[in-house]
Amino acid sequence: MSYNLPKSEKLKLFVVDDHELMLGGTIGALRQQYPKAEILTAKTLQNALEQVARFQPDLAIIDVSIPETLGKIAKIETGIKFLQTVMQQYPDLNLVVLSSYVKALVRIKDEIDEHQGGFTVVDKGLPSLEMLNRVDWSLKGFTHTKDLRMLKGEIKPEWLEVLTLAFQEKLQDKAIAEHMHIATRTVLHYWTKIRDVLGVYPEEGKNLRIQTEMRAREEGFID
């Protein structure tokens, strides 16, 4: 996972949506924000699986409701199936779910929690500026799943251990990884999940680590 945004001229973006108007609007917004990026599209599960394997994108923007093949009816379970497949086969792929059915993602919340790449959620009713903001976050490896109505205090034991080691033992990520006998990359992954639960996201001029510590203390996760 990397928090460094890839250079725009090297970006490969992939959009999966079977609605022509939405697809066109999404592509138009992306081209304005990333004028040198290569953008590929798919409208069905079958084509999407083929394209992601061939294209190897930096980020995929996915509508949850898509048809399996041309001529078939778009279904939520089809989009869920695609998400599950790409998360399993491409654990580092940065993902944005842009859909009117984001609540359906609660079905695979545990799998989303384990995903190593960026993962953000955007309701189609939100402005394109918000969509672009969450594309940026996902490209940087961050997680934003607040729209899934996660429980306020929902946090896993290993995430609590990271908070304790970081803010009570004052350890840096490398030392935390050694103490927990995990990879530094896994510690970075835990941070994205912790911040999502706490509602801490990138803001200009604000230090993420400081903001995370403040929120963790406010919520009682650490003393």
**Under DSSP, is residue 119 helix (H, G, I), strand (E, B) or coil?**
strand
Burial group, residue 144, by CB count within 10 angstroms (0-12, 13-18, 19+) = buried
Q: Where a domain ends, among 148, 175, 194?
A: 148
Percent of the chain at pLDDT > 90 equals 67
**Under DSSP, is residue 212 helix (H, G, I), strand (E, B) or coil?**
helix
Per-residue model confidence as pLDDT tens digits over 9-55? 589 999 999 999 899 999 999 999 999 999 999 999 999 999 999 99
Per-residue model confidence as pLDDT tens digits over 94-130? 999 999 988 788 778 888 988 999 999 999 999 999 9
CB 142 within 8 A of CB 118: yes
Return the CATH number at 192. 1.10.10
Candidates 138, 136, 145, 139; CA nearest to 198 is: 145
- Inside any domain, residue 31: yes
Would you state the pLDDT for residue 97? 96
DSSP state of 60: E
Q: How high is the mean pLDDT of the chain?
A: 89
State yes or no: pLDDT of 146 exceeds 60.
yes
Q: What is the sign of the dihedral through the CA atoms of 185, 191, 197 and 199?
A: negative
- Same domain? For 58 and 140 the reply is yes
- Same domain? For 23 and 132 the reply is yes
The count of structural domains within the chain is: 2
- Same domain? For 144 and 55 the reply is yes
Mean pLDDT for the stretch of residues 149-161: 70
Give how far Cα 7 sits from Cα of 94, 113, 136, 139, Å: 15, 27, 12, 11
Would you state the pLDDT for residue 2? 43
CB-facing half-sphere around the CA of 14: CA atoms within 13 A? 23
Q: What is the pTM of this model?
A: 0.72
The residue segments making up the domain with residue 137 are: 8-148
- Same domain? For 32 and 119 the reply is yes
Cα(2)–Cα(139) distance, rounded to whole angstroms? 8
Would you state the pLDDT for residue 156? 81
Would you state the pLDDT for residue 136? 96
